[in-house]
């Protein structure tokens, strides 16, 4: 790394450290406390005598991450709940369990599991079902059909938004894209709208609602009449709500994320917004043929170092860490006691030590994580993948065949299936495949992977992510967006496009040479709200799909000031890198001019989880 480069990085990291107050408007701890209270009051409403009667909790595996935020094993024990198990596990045959509390999203697939579980216990135990966010009619109908409804006491737990960061709320509806966009089953729309209304009840009403897309429109239709029922607010902390359908541009959900947080998610998978499992020591243990010990690492806004670096392209992270370490070292030197120190001085020094210690720990942790990430990043495969994605984004005709060949080579080498599917999706949405190429690609794919992969292919086809360009509705989207919003940087030095060297000063700090369209849309839209939004929604986005757009000014009497944030709701999911690129807008334009965002989403996904949930 050239010295010039390092210097620039140093500047940035210094800025970032000074900018410690870059926290969002949410107090995550209070939110979690509230959710905890709700949860325990529901448990209390069952009126179980925990001391005398054995009570267990059975939860849906998909909710484990979510609930690790709300309760811990110790808290359950303290309450008197003896154990926690999953639907998939059968309980030990006979025991004296008196009460079973089931906790699940009412997914119909769960019914058979629930049925087996309950039937082995029904004679002896009292059973309760806590459904998130509500017990649906269809679910209770099936329960009734199985003869289970009478045995259960059912309660709904409207958990609403889960705060993942000080500026990020998620509803954790992982199947939303698939159910709503693919199957046209809009049952979760109401949940979303209700949660947004709850948000307004807490932080104040919106002044205007802007959006694009059929699902967004449905949500908006729920929101509008509810505005009159809100209690009066003197001032509101939320000014604008922007609702955007994911299928305006799905591409960012498929690209490899390159920000620090995004890359961590791609490689380690961040669960429930803040924790990852990290191998303790990799190679030594593997040789001894023991499963590697893992530890849980919490990455949240309390980790100031992480907050400062998470939104930057990974290429800049090692340098930032290095500079931070240097700074810390300076600090450390400065607190060495000298001979002629007064007692108050000494006290001040001593008080600094814990904070220095925690900074040191943070640097250590992120150095370890970065090293792990680097191992993957340096791998040729990864480099090639980024190269491929970049070629696709640029869509230059001379790279077309090369990219196609790349996919074919990957298929022949039988790389993990979802990885291939992702490549095919990206290619179909950018270059586009002719019917002939597509058919032979599919044939190749099926020949190599089990024929059972066919349902997955069909599903992707149905969701419009893959297919011959003649029939693929989303195919044109990207090219139009790219031209309208200048998403790619053609002058970008191609020899230098790998992630180990990237200038972070331009606005493509998150992906190399590419800015997600949603960032651009919002950047433009917020510049001159009335005119620009109309311009974008009406003319620029029109050719993409003829889905409805809307812009309403609400009759709110609340006052709005520079602290009122803009809420962006991603209907169908969002990735960390996309969020990062939006967060950088505030750095560019400053505070109080419409780029103070509060993000809300149905779910957070990376390229793999997005495809797996379809």
Partner 1 sequence: MSVLASSNWSIIGNSTYSKKEIYSLPWDIDLKQSIVVGAPFGGPIVVYRDSSKLLEVNSQNSKNIIRIFTAAGYEMSKMMWDSTKGNIVTMDWIEKERLVIVLESGIVLIYNIFCELLSQFSMGDAVKKEGIIDCKIWSDGIVVLTGQVNFYTVPSVEDIIRECGRVIQLAKIQEEVKVKPGWCILEPKHSVSQGVEVFASINETLYLIDEDKADSQLDSISNITRMVVSPSGIKMACFDARGVLWIVNTDGSTTSPVKFETKSQKAPLLKWCGNDGVMMYWDSVKDPVLLYFSQGDTWAKYTTDSSVSLVTEIDGLRIISNRTSEFFGKVSDVTIDIFKIGSTSPAAMLYDATEHFINKSPRADESIRSIKSDLELAVNSCILAAGYEFSGSEQSKLLTAASFGKCFLDGYNPNAFVNMCRSLRALNAVRNFEIGIPLTIQQFTEIGPEEVIDKLINRRKHLLAWRMCDYLKIKSDVVLNHWACTKVRTDIDDNELSRIIINKLESVPGISFANIASAAYMANRKKLAAKLLEYEPKAADQVPPLIKMGESETALGKAIESGDTDLVYLVLLDMKRNRPLADFLEVTFSKSVAVDLLISYCKQNKDMNLLKEIYGIKQQTKEMSFTFLYEAFREPNFEKRLGSFEKSKEFFQQNKQDKDDQSNAQLVQEQIKLEILQKELENTTKESFLGMSISDTIYKLIITNDSKKAMNLKSEFKVPDKRFWWIKIKALSALDKWEELFQFSKEKKSPIGYEPFAEVCLEQNQPTEALKYIPKVQDPVNRVQLYIQINYYREAAEVAFKEKSIDLLNLIARKCTNPEVLNLVDQMRSQLQRR
CB 227 within 8 A of CB 554: yes
Q: Which span sits near partner 1 by CB under 8 A: 3-11, 28-36, 346-354, 436-444?
A: 436-444
Q: Is 54 helix (H, G, I), strand (E, B) or coil?
A: strand
412 contacts partner 1 (rule: CB under 8 A): yes
CA distance 452 to 432: 25
Which range binds partner 1 by CB under 8 A, 253-261, 452-460, 538-546, 589-597? 452-460
Q: Give the nearest distance from C-beta 462 to partner 1 in angstroms.
A: 9
Question: Using CB under 8 A as the criterion, what x/- string covers residues 150-189 for binding partner 1?
Answer: ---x-------------------------x---xxxxx-x
| Radius of gyration, CA atoms only, the chain | 26
Q: Which stretch binds partner 1 (CB under 8 A): 441-449, 505-513, 525-533, 589-597?
A: 441-449
In 310-342, where does DSSP find H-type helix? 317-334
Residue 584 has phi, psi (to 5 degrees) of -70, -20
Contact between 71 and partner 1 by CB under 8 A: the answer reads: no
Longest Cα–Cα distance in the chain: 83
Shortest spacing between CB 141 and partner 1, in angstroms: 4
Beta-strand runs (E) in 157-207: 162-165, 168-170
189 vs 251 by CB, closer to partner 1: 189
Instruction: Decide: 609 and 272 in contact? Cβ < 8 Å.
Output: no
**Cβ-based nearer residue to partner 1, 260 or 475:** 475
CA torsion, points 367, 368, 370, 376, in degrees to nearest 10? 160
Look at the block and give the residue holding tokens 């409805």: 548
Based on the shown chain and the rule CB under 8 A, indicate whether residue 451 belongs to the binding site for partner 1: yes
321 Cβ neighbours under 8 A, 6+ residues apart = 309, 363, 366, 367, 370
Residue from 218, 223, 319, 421 touching partner 1 (CB under 8 A): that is 218
447: contact with partner 1 by CB under 8 A:
yes
- Torsion sign over Cα 166, 171, 174, 177: negative
Residue 604 · residue 418 · CB < 8 Å: no
Q: What separation in angstroms does the CA of 232 have from each of 202, 235, 369, 553? A: 11, 9, 48, 17
Q: Closer to partner 1 by CB, 62 or 179: give it.
A: 179
Residue 195 Cβ, how far from partner 1 at the closest point, in Å? 15
DSSP letter at 334 equals H
Alpha carbon dihedral 179, 573, 424, 608, in 10-degree steps, equals -100
Shortest distance, CB of residue 187 to partner 1, whole angstroms?
A: 4
Residue that is written with structure tokens 């019914």 in the block: 111
User: Among residues 435 and 473, whose Cβ is nearest to partner 1?
Assistant: 435
Q: Any contact of residue 473 with partner 1 (CB under 8 A)? A: no
- In angstroms, the CA 213 to CA 494 distance is 35
Per CB under 8 A, does 197 bind partner 1? no
Q: Is 107 in the site for partner 1 (CB under 8 A)?
A: yes
Stretch that binds partner 1, among 2-10, 27-35, 132-140, 274-282 (CB under 8 A): 132-140
Q: Are 19 and 311 in contact (CB under 8 A)?
A: no
Residue ranges in 24-63 that form contacts with partner 1 under rule CB under 8 A: 47, 49
Pick from 74, 234, 330, 380: which binds partner 1 (CB under 8 A)?
380
Question: Rounded to the nearest 5°, which phi and psi values hold at 567?
Answer: -95, 125
- Tokens 């269809």 — which residue? 138
User: What interhelical angle do 187-203 and 214-226 show, nearest 10?
Assistant: 50
Assess 123 for contact with partner 1 (CB under 8 A).
no
- In the complex, the smallest distance separating the C-beta of residue 387 from partner 1, rounded to whole angstroms, is 12
- Between CA 267 and CA 272, with CA 271 as vertex, the angle to 5 degrees is 150
Could you give the strand order of the β-sheet that contains 126-131, starting from the edge strand earlier in sequence?
81-86, 54-59, 97-104, 126-131, 152-156
Q: Minimum distance between the CB of residue 598 and partner 1, rounded to whole angstroms?
A: 26
Give the span between the Cα atoms of 538 and 180, in whole angstroms: 24
- Find the binder of partner 1 among 230, 327, 365, 448 (CB under 8 A): 448
**Given the complex with partner 1, which of 145 and 296 has the nearer CB atom?**
145
Rounded to the nearest 5°, which phi and psi values hold at 246? -60, -30
Nearer to partner 1, 119 or 413 (CB): 413
Which CB atom, from 1 or from 326, has the smaller least distance to partner 1?
Answer: 1
**Residue whose CB is less far from partner 1, 131 or 611:** 131
Q: Which of residues 500-559 bind partner 1 (CB under 8 A)?
A: none
Span from 135-143, 393-401, 484-492, 564-572 in contact with partner 1 (CB under 8 A): 135-143
Q: Which residues contact residue 352 at a Cβ distance below 8 angstroms, ignoring those fewer than 6 apart?
A: 331, 335
133: preceding bond cis by omega (within 30 degrees): yes
From the list 88-96, 351-359, 440-448, 513-521, the region that binds partner 1 by CB under 8 A is 440-448
435 binds partner 1, rule: CB under 8 A: yes
Contact segment (CB under 8 A) with partner 1 among 106-114, 117-125, 281-289, 543-551 equals 106-114
Q: Which of residues 302-321 bind partner 1 (CB under 8 A)?
A: none
- Minimum CB distance to partner 1, residue 213 (Å): 16
> Residue 492 has which token pair?
């970008």
Choose the binding region for partner 1 from 75-83, 355-363, 409-417, 523-531 (rule: CB under 8 A): 409-417
Binding flag, residue 124, partner 1 (CB under 8 A): no
Interface with partner 1, residue 375, by CB under 8 A: no
Q: How far is the CB of 360 from partner 1 (least distance, A)?
A: 30
Q: Does 398 bind partner 1 (CB under 8 A)?
A: no
The sign of the dihedral angle between the CA atoms of 436, 438, 443, 447 is positive
Chain contacts with partner 1 (rule: CB under 8 A): 47, 49, 107-109, 111, 134, 136-138, 141-142, 145, 153, 179, 183-187, 189-190, 218, 221-222, 380, 408, 412-414, 435, 439, 442-444, 446-452, 454-455, 458, 468, 471, 495
């Amino acid at each position: 790394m050239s010295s010039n480069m390092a210097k620039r990085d140093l500047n940035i990291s210094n800025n970032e450290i000074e900018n410690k107050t870059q926290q969002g408007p949410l107090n995550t701890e209070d939110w979690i406390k509230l959710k905890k209270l709700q949860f325990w009051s529901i448990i209390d409403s069952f009126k179980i005598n925990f001391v005398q009667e054995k009570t267990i909790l059975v939860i849906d595996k998909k909710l484990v991450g979510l609930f690790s935020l709300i309760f811990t094993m110790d808290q359950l024990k303290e309450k008197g709940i003896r154990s926690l198990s999953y639907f998939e596990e059968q309980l030990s045959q006979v025991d004296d369990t008196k009460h079973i509390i089931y906790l699940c999203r009412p997914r119909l697939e769960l019914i058979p599991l629930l049925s087996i579980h309950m039937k082995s216990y029904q004679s002896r135990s009292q059973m309760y079902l806590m459904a998130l966010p509500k017990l649906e009619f269809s679910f209770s109908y099936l329960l009734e059909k199985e003869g289970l409804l009478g045995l259960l006491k059912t309660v709904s737990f409207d958990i609403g938004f889960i705060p993942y960061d000080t500026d990020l709320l998620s509803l954790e509806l992982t199947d939303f894209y698939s159910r709503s966009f693919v199957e046209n089953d809009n049952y979760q729309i109401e949940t979303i709208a209700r949660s947004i209304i709850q948000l307004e009840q807490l932080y104040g009403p919106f002044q205007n609602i802007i959006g694009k897309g059929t699902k967004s429109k449905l949500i908006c239709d729920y929101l509008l009449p509810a505005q009159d029922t809100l209690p009066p607010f003197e001032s509101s902390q939320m000014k604008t709500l922007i609702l955007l359908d994911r299928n305006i541009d799905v591409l960012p959900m498929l690209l490899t994320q390159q920000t620090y947080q995004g890359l961590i998610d791609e490689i380690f998978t961040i669960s429930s917004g803040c924790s990852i499992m990290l191998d303790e020591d990799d190679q030594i243990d593997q040789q001894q043929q023991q499963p590697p010990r893992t530890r849980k690492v919490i990455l949240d806004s309390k980790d100031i170092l992480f907050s400062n670096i998470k939104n930057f392209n990974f290429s800049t992270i090692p340098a930032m860490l290095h500079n931070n370490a240097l700074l810390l070292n300076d600090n450390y030197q400065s607190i060495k006691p000298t001979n002629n120190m007064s007692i108050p001085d000494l006290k001040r020094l001593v008080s600094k030590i814990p904070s220095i210690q925690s900074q040191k720990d943070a640097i250590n942790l992120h150095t370890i994580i970065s090293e792990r990430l680097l191992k993957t990043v340096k791998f040729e495969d990864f480099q090639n993948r980024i190269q491929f994605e970049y070629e696709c984004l640029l869509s230059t005709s001379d790279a077309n065949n090369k990219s196609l060949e790349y996919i074919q080579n990957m298929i022949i080498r039988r790389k993990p299936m979802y990885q291939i599917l992702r490549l095919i999706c990206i290619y179909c949405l950018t270059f586009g495949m002719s019917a002939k190429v597509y058919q032979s690609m599919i044939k190749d794919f099926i020949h190599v992977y089990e024929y059972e992969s066919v349902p997955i292919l069909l599903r992707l086809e149905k969701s419009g992510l893959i297919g011959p360009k003649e029939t693929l509705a989303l195919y044109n989207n990207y090219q139009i967006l790219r031209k309208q919003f200048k998403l790619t940087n053609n002058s970008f030095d191609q020899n230098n496009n790998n992630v180990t060297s990237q200038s972070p000063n331009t606005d493509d700090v998150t992906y190399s040479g590419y800015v997600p369209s949603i960032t651009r849309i919002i950047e433009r839209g917020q510049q001159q709200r009335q005119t620009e939004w109309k311009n974008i929604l009406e003319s620029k986005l029109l050719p993409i799909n003829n889905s409805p757009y809307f812009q309403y000014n609400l009759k709110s009497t609340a006052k709005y000031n520079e602290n009122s944030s803009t809420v962006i709701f991603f209907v169908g999911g969002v990735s960390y890198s996309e969020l990062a690129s939006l967060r950088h807008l505030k750095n560019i334009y400053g505070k109080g001019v419409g780029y103070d965002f509060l993000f809300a989403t149905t779910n957070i996904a990376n390229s793999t989880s997005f495809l797996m949930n379809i």
